Structure 1
Amino acid sequence: MANHKSALKRIRQTEVRRLRNRYYFKSARTAVKVLRNEEDKSAATEQLPKVISLLDRLAKKNIIHKNKAANLKSKLTKHVNGLA
């Protein structure tokens, strides 16, 4: 266990950040999954900008890598454009 005050504070901060990042990442995964399972083109077109914005924010905060965000956005856009 840490002995210094600053180390104890760092442990507390790290745990809070870890849980927050986990929540954001899980929310993004759920949003991507919902969009992938969408069959209606109008609904998917409406959801796409929100999901893209979410992925961009996660990439900006380094919760996911920027290339992963770009790949997901590309694949989701192709999926939405391919819907009948």
Structure 2
Amino acid sequence: MPYHKSAAKRVKTNEISRRRNIAARSRMRHVLKAVREAKDRATASELYVKAAAILDRTAAKGIIKKETANRQKSRLAKFAASLSA
């Protein structure tokens, strides 16, 4: 239990941030999975645009690193291009 008032406030703030980060990471994982499960190129490329935006937003907020977002976008683009039309 925190002794100082500011420490108690930080505990509360950290919990709020943790929940927000978990939600953002979960949203990101769901959209990545949707792209990987796409059956045709049109659907995959449409979902890729959405996934790239979410990855960029997640990286901008510092939830994941920018390099990680770029690597995942690159792999998704390669996957989407490999699907038959």
Deviation above 3 Å: which 4+ runs of structure 1? none
User: Deviation digits for residues 7-54 of structure 1, max 9, x if unmatched?
Assistant: 101000000000110010011011101101111211111111110000
The amino acid that maps onto 1:36 is R
**Identity percentage of aligned residues:** 38
> What corresponds to 1:62 in structure 2?
62
2:42 is matched with: 42
Task: State how 1:1-84 maps to structure 2 within 5 Å.
Answer: 1-84=1-84
Is the 2:34–2:47 Cα contact (8 Å) retained in structure 1? no
CA offset at residue 66 of structure 1?
0.8
TM-score, with length taken from structure 1: 0.96
CA root-mean-square deviation: 0.7
Q: Structure 2: which 5+ runs fail to align?
A: none
Unaligned residue ranges in structure 1 (runs of 5+): none
